[in-house]
Structure 1
Amino acid sequence: MAEVENGAAAQPPQVKMNVLSQYIRDMSFENILAQKPSSGQVQPDVKVQVALDAKKREAEHQFEVSMKLTVKSVAQGTEDALFILEIEYAGLFQIEGVPEDQLHPFLLIECPRMLFPFVRRIVSDVTRDGGFPPLNLENIDFVSLYRNELQRRAAAQPAQA
């Protein structure tokens, strides 16, 4: 009866997330095709690798989440590189109300989801400015990325023991 009257115990805490800032930590674009031109039409094959990281900051409830993308375009059939783009994009987040046991997935799923549209625009602009058609990255399923990483770590643990 006390829980119903109080109301605070019956409702979960309100989740608050603010993006304090976001920035490019590191970026590199190498136009290999311009250095050694190829003859004729080239059909590109684009491969994207994603790595995520999250760190607690000294300030209370603040976290830094970084997303590193490695985008490599190769000519189909030859595996000759056309361009390589590496970008590490980070965001500072103020997060409150997330239970401790849910904080890790929140940081590596929800925060990258907030950053991704900005990274997508940067990748599109850089590839266009580098002399290629703008590369519009498809959405990344951060939930499956997170689950795959958990499975990879679980499989690696018995091997280490």
Structure 2
Amino acid sequence: MSENGAATNGAQPPQVQMNILGQFVRDLSFENIMAQKGATGEVQPDISVQVNLDAKKRPAEGQFEVNIKLKIESKSKPTGDKLFLMEVDYVGVFAIAGVPEEQLHPFLLIECPRMLFPFLRRIVSDVTRDGGFPPLNLENIDFVQIYRAEVARRQAAAQPAQA
């Protein structure tokens, strides 16, 4: 062992490399329901955000496509009337090397979305502002918690099939 506690047998773990090769909006929809109904005045919005993540291998070696799908719905607190509905599918193309196979799935669905999120947050803010509402600044999304919940959901769904 060396001074920092690392083994000195010469076997170094591979260096993790991640590069964003590109990012883009695959699909975007914003419906200003409040304006369509001709409603005006002060409202107290109640915002709900649904997040879905997906990742897939691309044909090129070491390249992956990660997408974040958001469905954001705003309703008026007192009446429950819909104010707006926004759906966005945001994609990042990544080159990844040095990640062990057993860690690749969580890496793709946790670390890659973390890299994309600031850009997606800006799009949501701009679109809601341009749609006539105060800019919606999304709070940080806990991608670790989303990943764990999805793993638990899949394990629970597999239980009855094995019984």
State the TM-score, normalized to the length of structure 2: 0.91
Matches of 2:119 and 2:31 in 1, distance apart?
Answer: 21
What amino acid maps onto 1:75 in structure 2? S
What amino acid maps onto 2:57 in structure 1? K
The alpha-carbon deviation at position 4 of structure 1 amounts to 4.3
Percent sequence identity is 67
Alignment check: 8 A CA contact 2:68 2:113 kept: yes
Instruction: State how 1:5-154 maps to structure 2 within 5 Å.
Output: 7=10, 9=11, 11-38=12-39, 40-154=41-155
The alpha-carbon deviation at position 38 of structure 1 amounts to 3.1
Matches of 2:26 and 2:109 in 1, distance apart?
Answer: 18
Deviation digits for residues 60-97 of structure 1, max 9, x if unmatched?
Answer: 00000000000000011322110000000001000000
RMSD of the alignment, in Å? 1.4
Matches of 2:40 and 2:142 in 1, distance apart?
Answer: 37
Matches of 2:132 and 2:78 in 1, distance apart?
Answer: 22
Q: Where does the alignment leave 5 or more consecutive residues of structure 1 unmatched? A: none
Q: Where does the alignment leave 5 or more consecutive residues of structure 2 unmatched? A: 1-6
Deviation digits for residues 109-139 of structure 1, max 9, x if unmatched?
Answer: 0000000000000000000000000000000
Q: Secondary structure at the match of 1:65?
A: strand
The alpha-carbon deviation at position 159 of structure 1 amounts to 3.3
- Greater CA deviation, 30-39 or 141-150? 30-39
Moved over 6 A (4+): none
Q: Secondary structure at the match of 1:131?
A: coil
Alignment check: 8 A CA contact 2:25 2:88 kept: yes
Alignment check: 8 A CA contact 2:34 2:40 kept: no
Q: Secondary structure at the match of 1:33?
A: helix
1:157 equivalent in structure 2: 158
Matches of 1:21 and 1:141 in 2, distance apart?
Answer: 23
Matches of 1:135 and 1:18 in 2, distance apart?
Answer: 28
What amino acid maps onto 1:27 in structure 2? L
Matches of 1:72 and 1:160 in 2, distance apart?
Answer: 35
State the TM-score, normalized to the length of structure 1: 0.93
The alpha-carbon deviation at position 160 of structure 1 amounts to 4.0
